[in-house]
Amino acid sequence: MVMATFSHTLFAATSENLQDLMELSAEELLSTKVSTGSLRESIGAKSASAVTIIDRADIELTSARSLANLLEQHVPGLLLMTHSEGSKIGIRGLIAAENYKLLLLVNGKNITNMVYEGAILELDNWDLQDIERIEVVRGPGSVTYGTGAIAGVINIITRTAKAKHQLVSSELTHVLGPNSRGLSLSLADSINRSDVFTYFSYRKTDGYQEPQYYRDLSDGYLENPQAYLADGLTRPQIKALIDIRHGNEWNVWFRYTQSGQTHHFNPQIVLSDLNGNPNEEVSRRQVGIRGAIASFNRKFSLAENQSLKTEFSFDSQEYIRYRVRAEEYRISSSNNIDQYAFSQNRSSASLLYQGKFDRTELITGYQMNHITVEAPWGKSRDHIWIYEGVDFLSDVEKSVYLQNPDPRIDRLPTAETAEEIGSGLEFITHSHLLESIFNPSERWHLIYAHRLDIPDISDPMFSPRLSLGLQVNETNYGVVTAQRASRMMPLRAQYLNHKYEEKSKHETIDGLEISLTNTSIPKTTVNFRAFYNRVHSVGFTGQNLELLADLGLLGLELDAAYKSYHREFRLSHSFLDPISVDMNEGLKDGTNRNNISFADYYYQTRGDVPLLLESYGDDLNNWSNQSTKLMYIENLLNRRLRFLANMQIYWNYQGSYDEMGMYENAYANFDTSVLQDAELEAFESQRLDFLERKRNLEAKDAYQLDYSLNLAMSYLWQSSPKLEYLVTIFGENVLQSKKRYYVSTGSSNTYPDRLQFLEEPVSFGIRLRASFY
């Protein structure tokens, strides 16, 4: 991990390159460049965005079992929860049941699922060895990347050849507990002045058996739970990458990933054969995800300090969600598909001009994105199914989900709920991008940037940014940034709004951020940031996607790093205060939940005697207001022996626990004099049930202090000038102290039914890599 103002210049993944990388001082790291968050590479300290970089050396030594866990360990303030289909990432107080508030990129190309679940494709991949570095923008990024970059941007930058000699590498991995075992192979070479890198990995994971899901506050832990983090559909995780580069002129690459894991707080289910005899036990809910992307980039030199860059990419991803509803059907049967089965296909083309003129630099250009939403890979149009209040189907006469429906199966679409879309949906967005840099002196720099997105199904979105930087003295650099970012609803919802001529609902964030970087202490850098974001939040109320609330979020971030030849120490702390939460007054009719905070609330529960839940507390219901992350690395034996210890500490989940106080108030203030005898008895039964659940949750010490300790050790052994071995032993959550909380969208029963969590299991593993030069 590198602090927010750092960046690394990386080469091939050889031991010499890693040694060079580790030997860079804190001051040298500070002066290198980042490529995410801007249309051009920029020096980290001068960047308008808060960018955290996880480099190759960190990935080599990591104890993280997946990309999501790696981000949680390294990115200041980043919070990881779970909900339904998997890991949900929160940055600066913004988190949702779908990852649609941030964008996921590979080599700068957007691979976010714009239909459902948002950033999901790579997050649960256990294999990280094809990744050169990861750059994470904390905060808005729509000015560069467009709709969806409200909370942040995650850019996975894959390994490339760039080598002066051949490199063959093979790695074996085994993680105990989930019984995850994998194999990867890579080859780098130079052919006819072109550098070639190829990579392939295969991973099988059985998952943690009998995980401790705390789901029901009355009965305690879920009985016979499905495996945690097992391969979806028992289908292995696969990665394949081919990258070809010809100098700085052109680059073409292809990448395929296959993932999908079991996350849900659900029990196992026993399948039966046609005669009703038990057959096999499987996870009730599973997800299958596959993705492929191809990209071609070419740079043309027009004149001195002027160039033209062209990029074209095509990506396709398949998403299918399964839920076993009838025991005699195979898990992959269409009768077990649950509301989502589709593929998203995206073509993107861009043309960017860059010119440098004395004290001014200009980058401007055009981008076009074309997205089609169709049936899953290899399936006819009749297999498409997307749910958004209605069921998107090909047509009611031919859809496989409406042919001879089994009456025992719930939640199947009907002709009355169908929205016919034929062979699929189509969306086109045209965008104008601009970034201009003016340097009036060596001490000052001024950056203005904007992006104008013009979708064919919504109003245009304009995202501007103005940033002013000042070199205060030799050891202090400051940046002040004002910006706006925009996000339209997921395409499934935006399509309905457009078709039925409803007013577009765009989420926006207006932010002001101040950054100060100090290097006055030898071998040490310190970055302090303060930000205020005004968020016009859009989300799902339980019925529709609506404006939920206007939020005022104040945040403070401290990020420090010390680096000497033998050791490194890194510290980050994040504080967030929601200083205002104003729910949409139009939703306060007792039937809608704002899903964000209980600070401004008005909702009528279900039950024999409904309760009126009204405002309580002033925090976010899915956030830890305070978080601290520590990392220590010790290098011995000329840096061939390395030790890592890192810890993440989260506290003050008061916003989640506010729900209990809100229910307590509702029961205490209820006018029981209006109840009949039978209703009074039902009310008292409800109240006692609530109190029992409250006591049980408090006994679990949940939503209080939460922490995780992770350890790793690696040793690099060179048996000959051309052969070396790297062995890494690692453990995650070694104290078994971490809870994984469930993203709550607010409860609807007469007791809080969304305060769910998992006792995160311990994992220990080993990686062995052999490399030949």
Q: What is the DSSP string of 459-522?
A: --EEEEEEEEEEEEETTEEEEEEEEEEEEPPPHHHHHHHHHTTPPP--EEEEEEEEEEEE--ST
Q: How many CB atoms lie within 10 A of CB 404?
A: 6
**pLDDT band per the 50, 70, 90 thresholds, residue 248:** confident
Query: Is the CB of residue 609 less than 8 Å from the CB of residue 675?
Result: yes
What's the confidence (pLDDT) of residue 168? 85
Both structure tokens of 763: 């994992």
Q: What is the mean pLDDT of residues 268-289?
A: 77
Q: Which amino acid is at 210?
A: E
Q: Which residue has the higher pLDDT, 583 or 773?
A: 583
Both structure tokens of 193: 């002045």
CA distance 395 to 413: 11
Q: Burial-class residue 434 by CB neighbours within 10 Å (0-12, 13-18, 19+).
A: middle
Query: Does residue 8 have a pLDDT over 50?
Result: no
Q: What are phi and psi of 101, to 5 degrees?
A: -100, 5
The mean-pLDDT minimum among 145-149, 215-219, 236-240 falls in 215-219
Pairing relation of β-strands 237-246 and 250-259?
antiparallel
pLDDT (tens digit, 9 = 90+) per residue, 589-602? 998 888 899 999 99
Alpha carbon of residue 586 to chain centroid: 31
What's the confidence (pLDDT) of residue 2? 34
Angle at 563 between CA 562 and CA 568, to 5 degrees: 85
27: which DSSP letter? H
Query: Does residue 616 have a pLDDT over 70?
Result: yes
Query: Does residue 304 have a pLDDT over 90?
Result: no
> Which of 639, 479, 628, 634 is CA-nearest to residue 569?
634
CA distance 758 to 643: 29
Query: Is the CB of residue 44 less than 8 Å from the CB of residue 18?
Result: no
> Which of 232, 254, 234 is CA-nearest to residue 243?
254
Both structure tokens of 608: 């024999």
Give the predicted TM-score (pTM) of the model: 0.93
DSSP SS3 for 673? helix
Query: Does residue 546 have a pLDDT over 50?
Result: yes
What's the confidence (pLDDT) of residue 5? 31
Query: Does residue 301 have a pLDDT over 80?
Result: yes
Q: What are phi and psi of 107, to 5 degrees?
A: 50, 40
HEC readout, 496-513: HHHHCCCCCCCEEEEEEE
Alpha carbon of residue 723 to chain centroid: 37
Query: Is the CB of residue 473 less than 8 Å from the CB of residue 513?
Result: no
**pLDDT band per the 50, 70, 90 thresholds, residue 42:** low
Q: What is the mean pLDDT of residues 57-80?
A: 94
Q: Which CB contacts under 8 angstroms, 24+ apart, belong to 672-681?
A: 675/609, 679/608, 679/609
Task: Please report the domains of the chain, with CATH numbers, ordered by start residue.
Answer: 15-772 (2.40.170.20)
Q: Which residue has the higher pLDDT, 43 or 576?
A: 576
- In degrees to the nearest 10, what's the CA dihedral of 82, 85, 91, 93? -60
pLDDT (tens digit, 9 = 90+) per residue, 389-429? 899 999 999 999 998 777 777 778 888 989 999 999 999 99
Query: Is the CB of residue 603 less than 8 Å from the CB of residue 583?
Result: no
DSSP SS3 for 211? coil
Query: Is the CB of residue 563 less than 8 Å from the CB of residue 586?
Result: no
Looking at the chain, how many residues does it have? 773
> Which of 89, 153, 61, 127 is CA-nearest to residue 570?
61
What's the confidence (pLDDT) of residue 4? 35
Cα-Cα-Cα-Cα dihedral sign, residues 216, 733, 237, 74: positive
The mean-pLDDT minimum among 97-111, 118-132, 212-226 falls in 212-226
Name the H helices within 10-111: 15-23, 26-31, 56-61, 67-74
Query: Does residue 6 have a pLDDT over 60?
Result: no
CA distance 29 to 31: 5
**pLDDT band per the 50, 70, 90 thresholds, residue 1:** very low
354, containing H or E segment: strand 337-357
Q: Burial-class residue 673 by CB neighbours within 10 Å (0-12, 13-18, 19+).
A: exposed
What's the confidence (pLDDT) of residue 45? 60
What's the confidence (pLDDT) of residue 658? 93
Q: How many CB atoms lie within 10 A of CB 695?
A: 10
pLDDT (tens digit, 9 = 90+) per residue, 632-667? 999 999 999 999 999 999 998 999 989 999 999 999
Alpha carbon of residue 405 to chain centroid: 36
The average confidence (pLDDT) of the chain is: 88
Q: Which CB contacts under 8 angstroms, 24+ apart, belong to 207-214?
A: 207/178, 207/179, 207/231, 207/261, 207/262, 208/177, 208/178, 208/761, 211/758, 211/759, 211/761, 212/758, 212/759, 213/265, 213/756, 213/758, 214/700, 214/702, 214/756, 214/757, 214/758, 214/759
Residue position matching structure tokens 């189907």: 393
Percent of the chain residues topping a pLDDT of 70: 92
**pLDDT band per the 50, 70, 90 thresholds, residue 504:** low
Percent of the chain residues topping a pLDDT of 90: 63
Q: Please state, in angstroms and as integers, the Cα–Cα distance from residue 204 to each residue in 85, 232, 450, following that order.
A: 19, 10, 44
**pLDDT band per the 50, 70, 90 thresholds, residue 49:** confident
